[in-house]
Amino acid sequence: MRDRSTIVLAALGLIALACMCAFMTLGLRGNLWFSLELRSLRLLALVVVAVSIAVSTVVFQTVTANRILTPSIMGLDALYIFSQSLLVFTIGGFGFASLDPRIKFAGEAVVMVALAALLFLPLLKARVDLILMLLAGVTVGVLFRSLSSLLARLIDPNDFVVLQGASYANFSKIHGELLVAAGVLMLIGIAIVWRMRHTLDVLALGRDAATGLGLEWPRVVAATIMLVAALVAVSTALVGPVAFFGLLVVALGERLIDTRRHALLLPAAALVAIIVLVGGQTILQHVLGGASTLGVVIEFVGGLVFLAMLLHGARR
Amino acid sequence: MTTVERTAPRLAGAAALLVLAGLCAISIFVGVGDVSPREAFSDPEALYLIAASRLPRTLAAILTGAGLAIAGLVMQTLARNRFVEPATAGTGQSAALGILIVTLLLPSASIATKTLVASLTALAGTSLFLAIAHRLPPTQPFLVPLFGLVYGGVVGAAVTFVAWHTDLLQFIEIWTHGEFSGVLRGRYELLWVSAAVLAVTWVFADRLTLMSLGRDVSVGLGLDYARMMQIGLAIISVVTALTVVIVGLVPFVGLVVPNMVSRLIGDNMRMLIPWVAGSGAALVLACDIIGRLLHFPYEIPVGTVLGVVGAASFLWLLLRRPSHA
Amino acid sequence: MLFSRIFAVLIALALPTAAIAETVQIQTAQGLATVPARPHRVAVFDMAALDTLHLLGVKPAGVPDRVFLPELKPAAAGGEVVGTLFEPNLEALSALDPDLIILGGRSSPKAKFTSRIAPTIDMTIDGQDLVRDAEARLDAYGRLFGREQAADEARQKFRAAVAAARDAAKGKGRALILMTNGPKISAFGVGSRFGWIHSTLGIEPAVTAMAAAIHGEAVSFEFVRKADPDWLIVVDRAVAIGTGDSQAHATLDNELVRDTKAWKRGQVIYLPAADLYIAGGGIQAMTRVLAAVTRGFSAAQ
């Protein structure tokens, strides 16, 4: 069991490395240093996004004790976009739009974490059953997407909301100035998650069992929800809403590694996410020549793979 | 059954009808043109506006709301699952795919042709979904909505991908934001097909109730299960395609209304159908009125308002009455 | 005097030619910019720029993958594809090694990145004062490429076209600018991307209290009827983005719009949508738009 998962992790790591090398070297032209620098920026962004989504999805599924809830399905991406428009529209008059993007990002992340805590803690504490939780999540997503576009309609719609409100992530975007801030936030986030990995294993046993084992359930859950919100802010700020990407990579990772133990699942999911994003972007860029549709392609292919897995698992 | 129990629903029904009638009245008198209740029936100008614009818009909202709510109810019955609806489980996306295909092959097709093709693709998409949904183990009820969600996403992604590569992305956007601002006399009449579909649903209500018991039980009780499946599929596809072509995608109605209503009055189809249709109509109409007023004299799409209003009230309802499942 | 001339010749001989490439100061959307004069290899990502450069006889070395307007096909012919209207492909650009990169509108946010490859100018044209901006860009391109004479001629013709449109519309009544998007419509006011039609051409708006929404406001047909404009100026979005035939007429042809003065008198002007929406501010595209305005208003009964 332990051996198998080590082998799987090693293999995933190698494939991820291969994808990164391919991403960095295929079809290089023009000024070599410039291109390499550009690609490393993009690669870094892709890795930050991949890891953020994978980790936030795993943690979120553990907290909600549910394999099919992901932060995106539960509307957290929409919540971040809403936080963005809310800040632009409430303090837009005071030069918020011209602020340094890093400060903006920090502000948006704070608003987002606060909103997420306000919204999801009562949901989790109320011991809402699973189906209701799913329903509530989809509802929250719709609510915030609609609120964002309502705000955009009521107050002069500026292009950023229109762009941000796009229904698919754009993995070709480069945010040079945000990358460092987002990367740092991601590193802090995954460091905390990694230190909590055993706590998370206990949390996965369910609320009552975890409380019985001496876990301060409400406190831990509050902390993890905020963590998840911060990680979602990272990925959404960099590329936009991602829909089923998290669901896909965590399901794949879990299938490959055959365990929910966080010490193994977290790296597995993160590696799968890196492979899918970096590999997919490489293939699209050099084979199909339409890199800006990766979000759509992931949705399509990832969705199909996931459906096949569902059916296969159901028939077993 | 005591008399109290029998009169309570009647009272509730009367109250609900009053609410719907009230909303219709408001809808008739809300708009950019000047129509005041005092001169509505004496001023020819006002009468003309009502006939040409207000009444059609009101009826379109009612037909859309009732149709979508019923489509959601039927879909939930066929999938034997509470949490699927045409807008999220691939029906709406398949209809959009149909519109896209028509636009690529026959750019100058009429609305009726578009609706027909969209109905066919919606039928194909929904059939596929239900065929697969039935192979999922019934022991895991949340698998079906999950499957539907991802499936809808996949079809939607295919639409986006094709539209992106044929530069029709913004064109498809027209059909993804439902709104009634373009509804006038002569531009919505096809929606009356929804009313016919409602009648069909009413005829088959008891059989639908049987269907919800599952295949084996219903066949044991003498139901032609396969035939009912086809009828149900036709109901869902036609209503969804009609709505998408004429109004645009209106999310949420099919999911929220049947769930809320059945929580309040139980699962008997005969009882459910009028209530679900009425509540759907009231919800969409109310949201359209809000959309007309919020940014007056400009319009806010009903889909957006519905997203906010429907979602917020539904959340409140969910969390106010924690269920003990 | 003589000394300095000899000195200059000596310097010119001593240095590689690139180092003394002249620079020129031109007006851009971001203020004054100093760029190398007469650049040979230019990458252009803005349709209006492509249009005006074509008029001046400048051939771009790098162009986006699609130009949307059939009229722009010859302008982009022979240029290497280096990205899309929104997204310059930085590596392809770097391989092209241009002397100058021209961005505008949809691609202007990318200036940070392209300026690392070559000098970049943002030539975005603002819809509210489109005519002034279009002329400013024309001047800038003329000086930049040493085609001042061609630019002067073009400016005179352009001014004549603007004046003709102004004269044709003078005293002809109030107009409402509508954009049709499939079966739905939006109205555009003075502060919108088409605001110059009111402000520069002096056409009175039928609705004065229109909020300054750049992208217009969604309205109902009742709104059009109540505004009761003398003229309807129509842009069909579907045509602008190249999605098939114009349905603007079919969308507007309903009993509420038929009640307006504009429809009754046949005073409905359909503008060439792509020229305005995609290449708005390009001199040739604008000339076509202005000609449509002139034709429309001259036909008034």
What confidence tens digit (pLDDT) does each residue in A250-270 have?
A: 888 888 888 888 889 999 999
Q: How far is CA C115 from the centre of its chain?
A: 23
Q: Over 50: is that where the pLDDT of B3 sits? A: no
| The residue count for chain C | 301
Say if the Cβ atoms of C182 and B168 lie within 8 Å.
Answer: no
Count the domains in chain B. 1
For residue A269, the number of C-alpha atoms closer than 13 Å in the C-beta half-sphere is: 29
pLDDT, residue C167, reads 93
- Residue with more model confidence, A260 or A54: A54
Q: In this structure, are residues A35 and C121 in contact, taking their beta carbons and an 8 Å threshold? A: no
Q: What percent of chain B has pLDDT over 70?
A: 91
Q: How close A277 gets to chain B, by Cα (Å)? A: 17
Q: Which pLDDT band holds residue C285 (cuts at 50, 70, 90)?
A: very high
Within 10 Å of residue A191's Cβ, how many Cβ atoms? Answer: 10
- Residue with more model confidence, C106 or A313: C106
Q: Round the average pLDDT of chain B to a whole number and report it.
A: 83
Which stretch of A257-271, B33-47, C108-122, C226-240 has the lowest confidence by average pLDDT?
A: B33-47
pLDDT, residue B185, reads 85
Q: Over 80: is that where the pLDDT of A204 sits? A: yes
Q: Which chains touch A (3 or more CB pairs under 8 A)?
A: B, C
pLDDT, residue C160, reads 95
Residue B3, domain member (yes or no): no
What CA–CA distances, in Å, run from B235 to A178, B11, B115, B208, B238?
49, 30, 14, 12, 6
Which of C90, C94, C212 shows the shortest C-beta gap to A156? Answer: C212
**Selected residues 241-260 of chain A with any CB under 8 Å from a CB in chain B:** 243-244, 247
d(CA A253, CA A258): 8
| The residue count for chain A | 316
Q: Is C245 an 8 Å CB contact of chain B?
A: yes
Q: In this structure, are residues C155 and C135 in contact, taking their beta carbons and an 8 Å threshold? A: yes
For residue B134, the number of C-alpha atoms closer than 13 Å in the C-beta half-sphere is: 15
Q: Over 90: is that where the pLDDT of C163 sits? A: yes
pLDDT, residue B65, reads 94
Residues 6+ away with beta carbon under 8 Å from C19: none
**Selected residues 145-174 of chain A with any CB under 8 Å from a CB in chain C:** 153, 156-158, 162, 172, 174
Average pLDDT over residues C217-223: 89
Q: Which pLDDT band holds residue C243 (cuts at 50, 70, 90)?
A: low
Average pLDDT over residues B106-134: 86
Q: Over 60: is that where the pLDDT of B138 sits? A: yes
Q: Round the average pLDDT of chain C to a whole number and report it.
A: 85
Q: Over 80: is that where the pLDDT of A202 sits? A: yes
Q: Is B179 an 8 Å CB contact of chain C?
A: yes
Residue B18, domain member (yes or no): no
Q: Over 70: is that where the pLDDT of C252 sits? A: yes
Q: How close B112 gets to chain A, by Cα (Å)? A: 29
Say if the Cβ atoms of A157 and C215 lie within 8 Å.
Answer: yes
Say if the Cβ atoms of B53 and C222 lie within 8 Å.
Answer: yes
Residue B210, helix vs strand vs coil: helix
Render pLDDT for C193-218 as a digit per residue (tens, 0 to 9): 888 999 899 999 998 876 566 667 88
d(CA C139, CA C157): 13
Pairing of strands C100-103, C120-122: parallel
Residue B14, domain member (yes or no): no
Q: Is C184 an 8 Å CB contact of chain B?
A: yes
pLDDT, residue A162, reads 39
Q: In this structure, are residues C101 and C93 in contact, taking their beta carbons and an 8 Å threshold? A: yes
What CA–CA distances, in Å, run from C58 to A225, C39, C61?
58, 10, 10
pLDDT, residue B324, reads 41
Residue B280, domain member (yes or no): yes
Say if the Cβ atoms of A299 and B154 lie within 8 Å.
Answer: yes
CATH number of the structural domain spanning residue B277? 1.10.3470.10
d(CA B239, CA B75): 11
Which of A29, A31, A156 shows the shortest C-beta gap to C213? Answer: A156
Average pLDDT over residues C36-48: 92
Residue B15, domain member (yes or no): no
Residue B242, domain member (yes or no): yes
pLDDT, residue B6, reads 54
Q: How close A288 gets to chain C, by Cα (Å)? A: 14
Q: Over 50: is that where the pLDDT of A224 sits? A: yes
pLDDT, residue A288, reads 66
**Selected residues 12-71 of chain C with any CB under 8 Å from a CB in chain B:** 66
Residue B25, domain member (yes or no): no
Q: Over 50: is that where the pLDDT of C15 sits? A: no
Q: In this structure, are residues B183 and B56 in contact, taking their beta carbons and an 8 Å threshold? A: yes
CA angle (C255 as vertex; C250, C260 as ends), nearest 5: 100
Q: In this structure, are residues A57 and A246 in contact, taking their beta carbons and an 8 Å threshold? A: yes
pLDDT, residue B164, reads 75
Strands (DSSP E) along chain C, which ranges? 23-28, 31-36, 42-44, 62-63, 80-81, 100-103, 120-122, 174-181, 184-188, 204-205, 217-219, 231-236, 268-270
Please report residues of A whose CB lies closer than 8 A to that of B130: none
Average pLDDT over residues A286-314: 73
Tally C-beta pairs within 8 A across B and C: 82
Please report residues of C whose CB lies closer than 8 A to that of A292: 84, 87
Q: How far is CA C268 from the centre of its chain?
A: 23
Q: Domain span at residue B165?
A: 37-317
pLDDT, residue A125, reads 72
Closest CA to A55 of A264, A222, A229, A269: A269
Q: Over 70: is that where the pLDDT of B10 sits? A: yes
Consecutive H or E run containing C195: none
Average pLDDT over residues C7-24: 55
**φ, ψ (nearest 5 deg) of residue C81:** -75, 120
Which stretch of A90-99, B181-190, C129-138 has the lowest confidence by average pLDDT?
A: A90-99
Render pLDDT for B214-248 as a digit per residue (tens, 0 to 9): 778 888 888 888 888 889 999 999 999 988 888 88
Q: Is A139 an 8 Å CB contact of chain B?
A: yes
**Selected residues 187-206 of chain B with any CB under 8 Å from a CB in chain C:** 187
Q: Is C185 an 8 Å CB contact of chain B?
A: yes
**φ, ψ (nearest 5 deg) of residue B39:** -110, 10
Q: Over 80: is that where the pLDDT of A195 sits? A: yes
What CA–CA distances, in Å, run from C48 to A188, C52, C165, C251, C276?
46, 6, 20, 29, 10
Sheet (strand C80-81) strand order: C80-81, C62-63, C42-44, C100-103, C120-122
Residue B11, domain member (yes or no): no
Please report residues of A whose CB lies closer than 8 A to that of C113: 38, 174, 176
Q: Which chains touch B (3 or more CB pairs under 8 A)?
A: A, C
Tally C-beta pairs within 8 A across A and B: 135
With b meaning 16 or more CB within 10 Å and e meaning fewer, what string describes A45-80? Answer: bbbbbbbbbbbbbbbbbbbbbbbbbbbbbbbbbbbb
Q: Which pLDDT band holds residue B299 (cuts at 50, 70, 90)?
A: confident
Q: Over 70: is that where the pLDDT of A130 sits? A: no
Q: How close B47 gets to chain A, by Cα (Å)? A: 31
Average pLDDT over residues A235-246: 81
Q: Over 90: is that where the pLDDT of B124 sits? A: yes
d(CA C143, CA C129): 22
Q: Which pLDDT band holds residue C42 (cuts at 50, 70, 90)?
A: very high
Render pLDDT for C77-134 as a digit per residue (tens, 0 to 9): 888 999 888 788 888 888 899 999 999 887 887 888 888 889 999 998 877 788 999 9
Please report residues of C whose CB lies closer than 8 A to that of A35: 90-91, 94
Average pLDDT over residues A197-215: 85
Please report residues of B whose CB lies closer than 8 A to that of C183: 174, 182, 187
Q: What percent of chain C has pLDDT over 70?
A: 89
pLDDT, residue C214, reads 66
Q: Round the average pLDDT of chain A to a whole number and report it.
A: 80
Render pLDDT for A148-172 as a digit per residue (tens, 0 to 9): 777 776 655 434 333 334 456 677 6
Q: Is C181 an 8 Å CB contact of chain B?
A: yes
Say if the Cβ atoms of B154 and A138 lie within 8 Å.
Answer: no
Average pLDDT over residues A190-203: 91
**φ, ψ (nearest 5 deg) of residue B125:** -60, -45
Cβ-based burial of A131 (10 A; exposed 0-12, middle 13-18, buried ≥19): middle
Q: Is A6 an 8 Å CB contact of chain C?
A: no
pLDDT, residue C21, reads 64
Q: Which pLDDT band holds residue C10 (cuts at 50, 70, 90)?
A: very low
User: Across A50-59, A298-307, B299-308, which has the greatest mean pLDDT?
Assistant: A50-59
d(CA C260, CA C266): 10
Mutate which of A132, A172, A316 to test chain B, going by most B C-beta atoms within 10 A?
Answer: A132
pLDDT, residue B244, reads 87
Average pLDDT over residues C124-145: 90
CA angle (C27 as vertex; C23, C29 as ends), nearest 5: 125
Please report residues of C whose CB lies closer than 8 A to that of B300: 218
Pairing of strands C31-36, C23-28: antiparallel
Sign of CA dihedral A282, A288, A294, A300: negative
* H helical segments located in chain A: 2-25, 32-63, 76-91, 101-125, 130-154, 159-164, 176-195, 197-203, 207-212, 217-239, 245-257, 262-274, 280-283, 294-297, 303-315
What letter represents residue A37's amino acid? Answer: E
Q: Over 90: is that where the pLDDT of A91 sits? A: no
Mutate which of C176, C185, C220 to test chain B, going by most B C-beta atoms within 10 A?
Answer: C220
